[in-house]
Chains A and B, each alone.
Chain A
Amino acid sequence: MKVLYYPGCSLKTVAESFERSAKLAMAALGVELVELERWNCCGTVSALTTDDLMHQLAPIRNLIRVQEAGEERLVTLCAMCYNTLKRADLWVAQHPEELAKINAFLDEEPDYRGKVRVLHLLELLRDELGFATVKERVVRPLTGLRVIPYYGCLLLRPREVGLDSAENPRILEDLIVALGAEPVDTPYKTQCCGSYHTTTHKEIVAKRAHAILSSAREHGGEVLISSCPLCSFNLDNRQRLVRELYDGFAPVPVLYFTELLGLALGLDPQAWISEQHYVDPRPLLEEHQLLKR
């Protein structure tokens, strides 16, 4: 099966391990992720004021590219891209007059006809392949590994965009179970990581990371999984600052959910694990015999 996918900027730079592991793991499941041609910025955050049409242009232009490719769905990996693209699509569906204005403004492009479905890779795994099928393909069950599923904001909220319940999501837990690992529930799994404050208010982000990761440790978690390059950066790299600010903090490795998937499918993590991880996940993986010393 071939699936059209949208990488976004961070998967090409600071989150290369996310894209590499996703492509390899999906290939092992018989799915080829085909990169959308001529993609541009997703818009990053949704336009939240009623009069802001300008910031709908970037996501809509991407959806026009999907139309041009003759496809009706687009798979995303980054939670921010997922949210922004899907929200723009829903917004123009609810605002036909505004879509007409956008199409008139983008006169060098074909009109957006509103037929594109934006999906997250997790939805493809759950709804099309099925977690039962994923489980059958597992060759290296992650037995005994205690994994903290971290959703953050943009996979779940607003509700009309969310891929699961906003208050009690299960999709990451179900994936973790399918891979043979043990999900660890924490009250912080849907709370914000601090987002873009990481540029100007690092201490606020460190406070968030400390709360989220300490709770994860207290509940017995060994590794946290995420679906967002910014959540991952804030929860992983900002641990350097967390250790300076909070005595006795024990570091927690952070992986993308696709890295966990790749491990369970028997792939060699050396193919994607890079120095981009601040807390080195390799000692934990070695301890669980998931990586050769």
Chain B
Amino acid sequence: MLELSSKELQRAVEELSGQKVFACYQCGKCSASCPFAAEMDLTPRQVLEYIMDGRVEVLNSNTIWICASCFSCMARCPNGIDISKVMEALRQLLLRSGRDQLDLLKIPEADLKEIPQIAFIAGARKLIG
């Protein structure tokens, strides 16, 4: 895990995302709207809760990598928090310290021919630092 204090995590997330994380009142609309919530170890609401509580182990959550920036949560947040930007900030904190999640060289030849390029580029942008 990154060596971050609780305060450093909170400051980094707010700076990188440009979002006021502490405006969250934990209604859970983001989690209810998220089409991937069932795949996540922490729901989007819990990710916000962990950040507000300064729990740096949020950086170990698979949620950060499952979030595909579909913007359902941000479209519905009653407090106007762009949660997809909060997720991006968490991803970037890890990716900028060299924790890549995707190795393009390991993608099978058949997939390279079949899958639209936009999937590889989007994946590289989200999963490689």
Contact = CB atoms under 8 A, between A and B. Distances in A.
Interface of A: 8-10, 13-15, 41, 44-45, 48-52, 55, 78, 80, 153, 156-159, 166-167, 190-192, 194-201, 204, 208, 229-230, 233, 237
A199 B114 contact: no
Interface string B44-78: 00000000000000000000001011111011000
24 contacts: A9-B116, A10-B117, A14-B116, A45-B69, A45-B125, A45-B126, A49-B18, A49-B88, A49-B89, A80-B122, A157-B74, A158-B82, A167-B75, A190-B72, A196-B68, A196-B126, A199-B119, A199-B123, A201-B66, A204-B39, A204-B66, A229-B118, A230-B122, A237-B114
B89 A153 contact: no
Contacts of A80: 118, 122
Nearest to B112: A199
A158 B118 contact: no
Given A14-B116, A233-B115, A233-B119, A197 B71 contact: no
B116 A229 contact: yes
A204 B121 contact: no
Interface of A is mostly: loop
Interface of B: 15-18, 35-36, 39, 66, 68-72, 74-75, 82, 84-85, 88-89, 92, 102, 107, 111, 114-123, 125-127
A8, A15, A45, A55, most chain B CB atoms within 10 A: A45
B85 A199 contact: no
Nearest to A153: B70
Given A10-B118, A199-B107, A44 B125 contact: yes
Contact of A55 (B123, B125, B127): B125
A262 to B, nearest CB: 21
B119 A13 contact: no
B123 A200 contact: yes
B114 A153 contact: no
A208 B34 CA distance: 12
A156 B66 CA distance: 21
B117 to A, nearest CB: 5
Given A49-B17, A199-B115, 8 more contacts: A8-B118, A9-B118, A48-B89, A49-B92, A153-B70, A191-B35, A192-B72, A200-B123
Task: Identify the 8 closest CB pairs spanning chains A and B, nearest first.
Answer: A192-B70, A157-B71, A48-B88, A196-B123, A196-B122, A44-B121, A10-B116, A195-B68
Contacts of B71: 153, 157-158
Most buried by B among A9, A157, A208, A229: A157
Contacts of A195: 68-70, 119, 122
B69 A48 contact: yes
A208 B35 CA distance: 8
Contacts of A13: 116-117
A80 B89 CA distance: 21
